[in-house]
Structure 1
Amino acid sequence: MPIASPRLAGALAASGALLALLGCGGGDDRPPVGTTQLSPATPASFQGACKDLAAKLASLANTTISTSTDVGAGALTVGGQAVPAHCQVTGAMFARTSTVDGNSYAIKFEMRLPLAWNGRFFHQGNGGIDGSVVPATGSFGGGPLTHALMQGFAVLSSDAGHAASLGPNFGVDPQARLDYGYQAVGKLTPIAKKVIDSAYGKGPDRSYFGGCSNGGRHTFVAAARYPEDYDGYLAGAPGYKLPKAAIANMFGARRYASVATNPADLSTGFTPTERATVARAVLARCDVLDGASDGLVQDTEACRVAFDLARDVPTCGGSRDGSCLSPAQKTAIAPIFSGAINSKGESFYSSFPYDSGIGAAGIAFWEFTAPLALDSGAVGIIFKVPPENPASFNGPAFALTADIDAMLAGIEATNAVYTESAMSFMTPPNPTRLEKLKNRGAKMMVFHGVSDPIFSVDDTKAWYEGLAAANGGDASSFARFYRVPGMGHCSGGPATDQFDMLSALVAWVEKGAAPDRVTASARGAGNAGGVNAELPADWAANRSRPLCPYPKVARYNASGSLDSADSFSCR
């Protein structure tokens, strides 16, 4: 709930009826349920001195504010631009010593509060298994030229309730599991709004939640569990079935291991040269399906029909030389793309589309390293009930030899100590039932790279189709989904991966300007937000494309530059 301004507290207390009408004040003049348009946020300036804010917040329940420090203009830069002056607040909530593993825990956080505030709050969902309070800038997209802090938002970042030094071992503590999954968000939100109220004399008029990867999962969970706390949700690569996606990635690791020429290196099962060969074969079949031969597969659905791994990639007649795949490789790799299965042949995670980004360098980490170094610990210690013993746990061995059916049972299990399963605390309850979000005028935008190798864009597509079905066949009045051709996990790949969806989301929430397309650019030579080394040499450094709301596809208009978004329409 929004927090009442101290300056309004007396007036509101004088009238119970007015208090009921306004909710909790703080400038949050949300319309009644059933309306679809929220009013714009109103800017405000920081009140008092930043150094005095910590003392003003000393009475926050279950919370200790450690510091409030001025950060001068230009101390941070984004895309070569100086971030405006702001106040940095650090603190921790619910400090405790675990009775299960004896470790110390707390939900640590920081907030960055612009001196010139736009009236908005952005809750930054972070990636991986959290554990670190990364700078609260509210970044989004690949190599952005702007972010929420730059735009004047008050931004919150947290470690989700555990320290990075523990690695996945925090999963031994049942409360740390729940905080990581969803409870840290529920605890932080009201405190963050109180901090904002103390800093500006009013709470946020509009609140937004966003992040990519696990941050996208956090966003999906927040939309389902906390639909009344935020007005806009921006989710990138939302691994909202993260426990199953992690097991699917270990399923894939076993397939690669079966054809690896070096058992200690999974990448020898599908080398960079071989992946580039497959990427060329995909483009040969699918590039022109959107009307332009431009190194991008816009029509993903048509490509499913047009491309066949067995037929369209040359089969090695002799030794592997990079120009072909052996029969054993094709047999091993095809099930990764068709979707992971259990011992009964039943699918437990989504398919992955073939796309031009399969040859990108970033794919290797997620396909060959992450299953052994990340997914194994997450499944074995954070998600499984009971967890594996950290003292004897061997991640690579677990990834390559542990029974997958047992893993799937473990992420659904509970016991007296771990009373919520991973599929409860890590995933959004009823993810396609977002009536509360819809009815109060909130909006949701979701983007996902088509070449994402860890969280499948097909899984997000299935979610969106389910959301549409739950809303009479069309959810576009409050939620839109954008596929990013060629892009890997959150960024990178042969893609136009630089875009500002936050501004588009704000315009939709506060002005009713539906985002019919979002312009994305490549990050070629000279890009201030960081150069993407995986761009093809024949692309213009600033190539642009429209990102289209599903199921529309960016199609060439039959004339105009292939490097300009103006030459393409969403159809």
Structure 2
Amino acid sequence: MSRLTRIAVASLAALAALPAQAQETEAEARCTAAMDLAVEGVRLTEASYSPAGDDSPADHCILRGVMAERTGADGQPYALRFELRLPDDWSGRFLHQFNGGADGEVVPALGGGAGIGDVPALGRGFAVVSSDAGHDGAARPDRGLAGGTAFGHDFEARRMYGYGAVETLQPAAMALTEAYYGEAPHHVYGYGRSNGGRHGLVQAERMPGAFDGILAGFPGFNLPRTGLQSALDIQLFLSLGGTLADAFSREDLTVVAQSILNACDALDGLEDGVVNAMMECQQEFDPQVMVCTDGQNSDCLTAEQVDVLVARHAGPVSAGGELLYNSWYWDPGIASGNWRFWNLESPIPPWDHNPLIATMAAGATAQIFSTPPVEVGGSPQELLDFMAGFDIEAGSQAIFARTGDFPESAMSLIAVPNVDDPTLEAFEAEEGRLIIFHGAADPVFSVKDTIDYVERVQANNPEADDFLRLYLVPGMPHGPGGNSASQFDLLDALVAWVEDGEAPGTVEAAFPEGDAESAANAGHTRPLCVYPQVAQYAGDDPAVAASFDCR
């Protein structure tokens, strides 16, 4: 053994003999010691340190824990699992990351995604918490694809999913954050998309003083009612014969998109494949122009296909003519892969080419939104058959029903409180700020429903403009996609509003680079306008946002 080797071995032995914390950096040691933090109702299970890297936007500590452990009325184990990420370079801000879908998974607490821009909240110095909303999405593998929604057979699990998980976790996560840093966060934010956007709007009503600012993207705030729309979609598409994917080919939906563009693209002063003047477009576009004329067999649709699309856009209606969810806007984003993925074809396992709307929505409609919950098979075909045979009018009653085992309805538990007559006065009184954004071509939640909700708030509360903003994204489906300027940062706008009093106005948005669906506009920028304003081309370079005005 050489002298250098002996020195190296001796050095390693000496290092190994040091106390564990002496081998760690100060930040790593503090993270390890966080396992000893005591907060009532919390059982910490892990503390690990994550240095900045490809999957980590900042040096930070990850705390994982469990709350509300119990056995449900359905005999299944339940718990609220979470992770809290605490950056070394803390800004003093806290973000509750509300997650999407049926929850059931602790999504990494990074605070990123649509509406946030390139740098997630964790990379900006926010402490971020994420949870599974009180149930394990894989807890019932015996129910196949319906297993992720089987928690709906337990009332308390429904309540946790609806609102209880955030109410339970928020104060505990705040206490852990304060204990870790030695001081409380100076500003607290909430952020989510889809079901996560629903969580945000729900908590603006239920916990009006808990969040200084909430950012809600394409929110499913009327969630139980959307199950009625999902059933209508499937029944209409299957009425054309064959499979859902057979109802409309990709070429068929391109015809729809081009017909909308022919009628509406120039309404904003520039033909660029995007309809900014979406409200005006609903008056200008006549779906019947898509019907094949005598002798025409291309670049058109059958009369039956057009009738199906018209009925789909009209939304579910009762026998007495009552609209049971809402109607939808015509937008060229209907030709996007995202729209097809949700409504017609999801060619990835385990859906076997049945779209998510026919599987996840079926499980939710049967087991979470209906009272009493309905047993449903877990194969893709069984879920599709359930929706194909679903009684929409009876279902519209089941979402409001209560029983002894389910003393609150699905609408009461899951939809935004006062959804049909909102004021957000309590949120306003706490000086909260709320930004909502929604794509005009969303195939899952109607952008018109979001507009109607915001307009009801505005009609009921003359001060709504002091705390509420809505941004519509032309062409965007359920999240980024289509020919849309879907890259924008509303978190910065929200922070400036909350902390500096700078009410948000026009925000710059960009079309993504390298996306085939926005190829002609790739890299171009557009203004994202505060509703009801729309972007109008004012001349000069059509590739830059400065050439447009919000009017």
| C-alpha contact 1:237 1:490 (8 A) present in aligned 2 | yes
Shift of 1:143: 8.7
Of residues 154, 179, 196, the one that matches 1:215 is: 196
Provide the rounded CA distance (Å) in 1 between the counterparts of 2:29 and 2:176. Answer: 13
| C-alpha contact 2:204 2:427 (8 A) present in aligned 1 | yes
**Secondary structure of 1:183's aligned partner:** helix
Provide the rounded CA distance (Å) in 2 between the counterparts of 1:217 and 1:317. Answer: 47
1:191 has 2:182 as partner: no
Letter in 2 for 1:371: I
**Secondary structure of 1:149's aligned partner:** helix
Of residues 472, 476, 480, the one that matches 2:465 is: 476
1:375 has 2:361 as partner: yes
1:392-541 superposed matches below 5 A: 394-431=382-419, 432-472=422-462, 475-525=464-514, 532-535=515-518, 537-539=519-521, 541=522
Corresponding residue for 1:41? none
Structure of higher RCO (CA pairs closer than 8 Å, 6+ residues apart): 1
Bigger mean CA offset, 338-347 vs 489-498: 338-347
Task: Note the alpha carbon deviations across 1:172-218, whole angstroms, 9 max, x for none.
Answer: 11111100000000000100100110111111111001110000101
Provide the rounded CA distance (Å) in 2 between the counterparts of 1:300 and 1:178. Answer: 37
Provide the rounded CA distance (Å) in 1 between the counterparts of 2:293 and 2:55. Answer: 52
Of residues 346, 355, 370, the one that matches 2:322 is: 346
Task: Note the alpha carbon deviations across 1:220-264, whole angstroms, 9 max, x for none.
Answer: 10111111000001000011101111211210111111113x2xx
Bigger mean CA offset, 359-368 vs 111-120: 359-368
| C-alpha contact 2:116 2:491 (8 A) present in aligned 1 | no
1:103 has 2:93 as partner: no
Corresponding residue for 1:129? 102
Corresponding residue for 1:544? 525
| C-alpha contact 1:316 1:325 (8 A) present in aligned 2 | no
Provide the rounded CA distance (Å) in 2 between the counterparts of 1:107 and 1:427. Answer: 21
Of residues 38, 47, 72, the one that matches 1:68 is: 47
Task: Note the alpha carbon deviations across 1:480-509, whole angstroms, 9 max, x for none.
Answer: 000000000022111010111001100011
RMSD: 1.8
Provide the rounded CA distance (Å) in 1 between the counterparts of 2:378 and 2:488. Answer: 44
Alignment CA distance shift 1:143-1:256 (3 Å): farther
Corresponding residue for 1:27? none
Bigger mean CA offset, 206-215 vs 67-76: 67-76
1:86 has 2:60 as partner: yes
**Secondary structure of 1:455's aligned partner:** coil
Structure showing greater Rg:
2
Provide the rounded CA distance (Å) in 1 between the counterparts of 2:126 and 2:439. Answer: 26
Provide the rounded CA distance (Å) in 1 between the counterparts of 2:387 and 2:173. Answer: 39
Provide the rounded CA distance (Å) in 2 between the counterparts of 1:479 and 1:212. Answer: 17
Alignment CA distance shift 1:513-1:477 (3 Å): same
Corresponding residue for 2:304? 328
**Secondary structure of 1:483's aligned partner:** strand
| C-alpha contact 1:46 1:200 (8 A) present in aligned 2 | no
Q: Give ranges in structure 2 of 5+ residues lacking alignment.
A: 1-25, 141-147, 345-354
Shift of 1:268: 1.2
Provide the rounded CA distance (Å) in 2 between the counterparts of 1:72 and 1:392. Answer: 41
Corresponding residue for 2:372? 386
Corresponding residue for 1:528? none
| C-alpha contact 1:181 1:425 (8 A) present in aligned 2 | yes
Letter in 1 for 2:154: D
| C-alpha contact 2:291 2:303 (8 A) present in aligned 1 | no
Shift of 1:458: 0.3
Q: Give ranges in structure 1 of 5+ residues lacking alignment.
A: 1-44, 78-82, 526-531
Shift of 1:68: 1.3
Of residues 291, 313, 320, the one that matches 2:290 is: 313
Provide the rounded CA distance (Å) in 1 between the counterparts of 2:234 and 2:534. Answer: 32
Task: Note the alpha carbon deviations across 1:118-148, whole angstroms, 9 max, x for none.
Answer: 1111000101000000100011316941111
Shift of 1:316: 5.2
Provide the rounded CA distance (Å) in 2 between the counterparts of 1:194 and 1:303. Answer: 50
**Secondary structure of 1:251's aligned partner:** helix
Provide the rounded CA distance (Å) in 1 between the counterparts of 2:316 and 2:297. Answer: 26
Of residues 292, 295, 313, the one that matches 2:273 is: 295
Of residues 213, 226, 234, the one that matches 2:207 is: 226
Corresponding residue for 1:281? 259
Shift of 1:343: 3.0
Corresponding residue for 1:529? none
Provide the rounded CA distance (Å) in 1 between the counterparts of 2:516 and 2:225. Answer: 31
Shift of 1:429: 1.0
Provide the rounded CA distance (Å) in 1 between the counterparts of 2:408 and 2:113. Answer: 31
Q: How many residue pairs align between the two structures?
A: 504
Shift of 1:409: 1.1
Shift of 1:154: 0.3
**Secondary structure of 1:121's aligned partner:** strand
| C-alpha contact 1:140 1:500 (8 A) present in aligned 2 | no
| C-alpha contact 2:78 2:135 (8 A) present in aligned 1 | yes
1:163 has 2:136 as partner: yes
Corresponding residue for 1:37? none
Provide the rounded CA distance (Å) in 2 between the counterparts of 1:343 and 1:238. Answer: 28
**Secondary structure of 1:136's aligned partner:** coil
Shift of 1:318: 6.3
Shift of 1:62: 2.1
Provide the rounded CA distance (Å) in 1 between the counterparts of 2:273 and 2:303. Answer: 27
Letter in 1 for 2:236: R
| C-alpha contact 2:471 2:528 (8 A) present in aligned 1 | yes
Shift of 1:350: 1.2
